Amino acid sequence: MSINIWHPFTQHGLGEPIPEIARAEAAALYQADGTKIIDAISSWWVQTHGHCHPRIVSAIQEQSTRLDQMIFAGWTHEPARELAAGLSDFLPESLEHIFFSDSGSTAVEVALKMALGYWHNRRESRQKILVMEHSYHGDTIGAMSVGARGVFNQAYAPLLFDVGTIGFPEAGAEQATLDQLETFCKDSENPPAALIVEPLILGAGGMKIYGPEILAQMAAICRDHDVLFIADEVMTGWGRTGTVFACEQAGVEPDILCMAKGLTGGVIPLAVTAATDPIYQAHYSENRAQMFFHSSSFTANPIACAAANANLAIWRDEPVQQRIDAIIASHLAFSDRLKQKSNVSGLRQCGTILAFEIDDGAGDYMSSLGPQLLAFFRDHKILLRPLGNTIYIMPPYCISSVELDAVYAVIEEAIDHFRDC
């Protein structure tokens, strides 16, 4: 019997090629024959400092010889304690407690359970979760429930719980979103437990962008009505939007913040859900039935924590912000070139993320243009993975100007190619 690999978000029935990568370094992937592929989406949004960063690799190697894995329920270890202390330099002071898990989806699951547990332990009946239209928070059941409904999860609809949905704050119609949120929060018969949002930019929902002033107003409405505010910074955190966390740009301190992906520099899985003291205190009791019932086998894995500590050191010691600012400046210059393209629309930027649509008349994730674009970029040795007809760039911060220019050139070639088809 042969065992075949089942790849994520891959329709094997189409028979599309699946290239094999042998090694990686900085912003490049290499095939066995030495062919270089520029990683323009940080290997699905996780790589921040680039592949195989020496400091992170060294930390993993060193930790693996001392303590590789141990139970974290009722036990602890130095890499986790160091990480908790280090995160205090990056998180708002109000987020005093962190809970470890192992992926963005589980960080969101933890956040939802914290929010519901908070109200349950306070003997207040609040079960409704509010979400934003087009959002995506992961592929586990709870995370899917608070994400957009559609082709992604229609087969699993019987498993998903009901939520209250506010519209995406489209430019010029932001007040409608705020009014919807206010209406939900004022519902005295069914008061919401929490609102969860991707701050400033939606990822898989199409790289849709809204302003920090709207984020701040949503947080204020929640605060005024005693509704918990959950910031899913799994993708937006660790510099993607131009600041370490997107919430900083709005002056927002969420009740709960989720992080993963860039937490370890994108090298090894680890996630954190940070919470305020009131949320922790709602679970703090001599009654064992009020404890927070969540864990996984690899909670706070020591090797992953060591990688995260190396990531924090890179942020402290290296000119990471300057690298981010250089990408932002390059994207702005490239945007000016794209404005001249007749088949480009929706040009937008948020920090190191640049996105736009190639007009194809369909305009959604299932656009037939998506696979064609993917193949075009693959053939031109660029790792870009369009969301339907939406092209976006999200490179690691170490990408060189030469590599970034090469990415831009291939994108322009693709725009012209599909305009003339």
- At residue 247, the pLDDT reads 98
Average pLDDT over residues 389-395: 96
CATH topology (fold) of 56-317: Aspartate Aminotransferase; domain 2 (3.40.640)
pLDDT band at 366 (very low <50, low <70, confident <90, very high): confident
Output the pTM of the full model. Answer: 0.95
pLDDT band at 105 (very low <50, low <70, confident <90, very high): very high
Among the ranges given (85-94, 119-128, 234-243, 286-295), the one the predictor scored with the smallest mean pLDDT: 286-295
- Domain ranges within the chain, ordered by starting residue: 12-52+319-420, 56-317
- At residue 363, the pLDDT reads 67
- At residue 361, the pLDDT reads 66
- At residue 218, the pLDDT reads 98
Over 70: is that where the pLDDT of 12 sits? yes
Tell me if the domain spanning 12-52+319-420 has CATH number 3.90.1150.10.
Answer: yes
- At residue 151, the pLDDT reads 82
**C-alpha span between 169 and 215 (Å, rounded):** 10
pLDDT band at 362 (very low <50, low <70, confident <90, very high): low
Enumerate residues 6+ apart whose C-beta is below 8 A from 150.
365
Average pLDDT over residues 382-386: 96
- At residue 420, the pLDDT reads 74
Joined together, the tokens standing for residue 343 give 């088949």
Over 80: is that where the pLDDT of 365 sits? no
pLDDT band at 367 (very low <50, low <70, confident <90, very high): confident
Three-class secondary structure assignment of the chain: CCCCCCCCCCCHHHCCCCCCCCEEEECEEECCCCCEEEECCHHHHCCCCCECCHHHHHHHHHHHCCCCCCCCCCCCCHHHHHHHHHHCCCCCCCCCEEEEECCHHHHHHHHHHHHHHHHHHCCCCCCEEEEECCCCCCCCHHHHHCCCCCCCCHHHHHHCCCCEEECCCCCCCHHHHHHHHHHHHCCCCCCEEEEEECCCECCCCCCCECCHHHHHHHHHHHHHCCCEEEEECCCCCCCCCCCCCHHHHHCCCCCEEEECHHHHCCCCCCEEEEECHHHHHHHCCCCHHHCCCCCCCCCCCHHHHHHHHHHHHHHHHCCHHHHHHHHHHHHHHHHHHHCCCCCEEEEEEECCEEEEEECCCCCCCCCCHHHHHHHHHHHCCEECCCECCEEEECCCCCCCHHHHHHHHHHHHHHHHHHHHC
Average pLDDT over residues 197-215: 97
Could you report the per-residue pLDDT of 266-293, keeping only the tens digit for each?
Answer: 999 999 999 999 999 999 999 998 989 9
Average pLDDT over residues 26-43: 98
pLDDT band at 304 (very low <50, low <70, confident <90, very high): very high
Q: Does the fold of domain 56-317 match that of domain 12-52+319-420?
A: no
Over 70: is that where the pLDDT of 407 sits? yes
Task: Express as a percent the part of the chain with pLDDT over 70.
Answer: 99
- At residue 378, the pLDDT reads 96
